[in-house]
Amino acid sequence: MASTAEDFLVASEQKAFETEHRRIINNNIDKYDVSFIKGKSRLANLDHSKKKGHTIKWRVMENLDKFLPEFESNFQKRGGKVIWANDAEEARKEILDIIQKAGAKTVIKSKSMATEEIHLNAALEEHGIEALESDLGEYIVQLLGQEPYHMVTPAMHLSKEDIAKLFNEKFGSPIDSTPEQLTQKAREILRSKYLQADVGISGANFLIADTGSIAISENEGNARLTTSFPKIHIAVVGIEKMIPSIADLDTFWPMLATHGTGQNLTVYNTILSGPRQANETDGPEEMYVVLLDNGRTNLLAQKEQRQGLYCIRCGACLNVCPVFQNIGGHTYDYTYGGPIGSVIAPHLRGMQEFKHLSFASSLCGKCTEVCPVKIDIHKMLLLNRRDSVKEGLAPVVEKLGWQAWTKGMLKRKLTDFFGGKMKNWMLRTFFKKSWGHYKEMPKVAEKSFSQQWKEGQRPQQ
């Protein structure tokens, strides 16, 4: 059975040479770049906002044991119920219990990476419960039987022609449908589902400690419908989404919108503080917040790398990453792809299985540069590499190779002995298959630099 790392290498190579994939992603990233440049130009002091956001998240992570109970207490005061889930299995079980006790058969969902993380849709379907995504991008990838490609734009890898073809096959809509017509078709199908659904499930962009609220940002309005029409609302939220005060949204809402899509502010920003109150006309009869750990406390325990938990899931680091743009989101085989996913996956899912992601980086630093909360992402990748070596997880072949290289580099006689002929033979023999199947192998000079120098020759280039 192939390892996750081996699968990653195969999938990466295949995706990197798909010209159509490259065309679609380049087109979509170019559009994002234009919007992002325009959006951030409207911020009076971008660096100050980044530093402020970083400081707030630092305070949260250093005092998470105080903020989580504060959130729970304030949320319960308004009739909400909090469920603590240590892992994905526990979260799925708790959610399933709520649904089954209510006798529910249909679930409508708004966009939530946390529910993707725990593979909730598949678990519900196994128990005969229909779970339908209402975010347009999520709905499209659900129809295709795929995972989201990107944490903000799930269907980024598809062209409008791909989506038109999908809707033609599924619903019989015209093959030449425009994006507006496709959106209208999806709206017609989904609108009735909000009224029929027994349970609405969402994520949340932020947990607010001082008011006991969740904050949801979206552009389509589907989250508002998902959290308003069904009698039961369940929000699945990672514990790292905490912020101390409702006043902190003044910093995070504009930064999330600008870095996520280039907007000043997302179209719909909703704060929910429990089920429908006596004086309110809409909202669920019951509201639950599932506080998801699922490995986050493992990362919290890493003093040097807990910065990874500051992430507000804007997706900006994915959009600037040359590796992500070449190999695509699905290749990572993890809910959160790109640079930030490479930082947190080894801690949330295990260093043994996911250490390779921290090595799949050019360390260009663009991710760190763009991060709205100033996470030192490329430094975190290096720290993960260090830890994987310290834990003895490097392959035996790699260890032996570095030992031989170190020994050779420390002795001039050995360096000269393994001259150009020997090095060229080694490249042809051991690296042709892995390095040379798409390009010609380099040819090393016949004699080492020092040998050429001693002989008075001009060193070969």
135 and 272 together in one domain: yes
Report pTM: 0.91
Q: What pLDDT score does 402 carry? A: 84
273 and 413 together in one domain: no
401 and 284 together in one domain: no
Please indicate, yes or no, if residue 363 is contained in any of the structural domains: no
The last residue of a domain, from among 294, 328, 343: 294
The last residue of a domain, from among 263, 294, 325: 294
Q: What pLDDT score does 85 carry? A: 98
Q: What pLDDT score does 460 carry? A: 58
How many other CB atoms are found less than 10 A from the CB of residue 271?
14
Please indicate, yes or no, if residue 290 is contained in any of the structural domains: yes
418 and 290 together in one domain: no
Please indicate, yes or no, if residue 239 is contained in any of the structural domains: yes
Please indicate, yes or no, if residue 442 is contained in any of the structural domains: yes
CATH number, domain at 166? 3.40.50.10420
280 and 401 together in one domain: no
281 and 401 together in one domain: no
Q: What is the pLDDT along the chain (461 residues), one digit of tens a residue?
A: 457 888 999 999 899 999 999 999 999 999 999 999 999 999 999 999 999 999 999 999 999 999 999 999 999 999 999 999 999 999 999 999 999 999 999 999 999 999 999 999 999 999 999 999 999 999 999 999 999 999 999 999 999 999 999 999 999 999 999 999 999 999 999 999 999 999 999 999 999 999 999 999 999 999 999 999 999 999 999 999 999 999 999 999 999 999 999 999 999 999 999 999 998 888 999 999 999 999 999 999 999 999 999 999 999 999 999 999 999 999 999 999 999 999 999 999 999 999 999 999 999 999 999 999 999 999 999 999 999 999 988 888 888 888 888 888 888 887 777 766 778 888 888 777 777 777 788 888 877 777 788 887 665 55
Please indicate, yes or no, if residue 237 is contained in any of the structural domains: yes
Cβ 353 vs Cβ 4: under 8 Å: yes
Beta strands in 273-321 (DSSP E): 286-292
The last residue of a domain, from among 262, 294, 326: 294
What's the sign of the alpha-carbon dihedral 177, 183, 188, 189? positive
N-terminal to C-terminal alpha carbon distance within the chain = 44
Domain count within the chain: 2
Q: Which amino acid is at 454?
A: K
93 and 216 together in one domain: yes
Please indicate, yes or no, if residue 276 is contained in any of the structural domains: yes
For residue 128, give its domain range: 42-294
Please indicate, yes or no, if residue 325 is contained in any of the structural domains: no
Please indicate, yes or no, if residue 373 is contained in any of the structural domains: no
401 and 265 together in one domain: no
The DSSP bridge pattern shows strands 206-208 and 213-218 to be: antiparallel
276 and 425 together in one domain: no
DSSP class of residue 107 equals: E
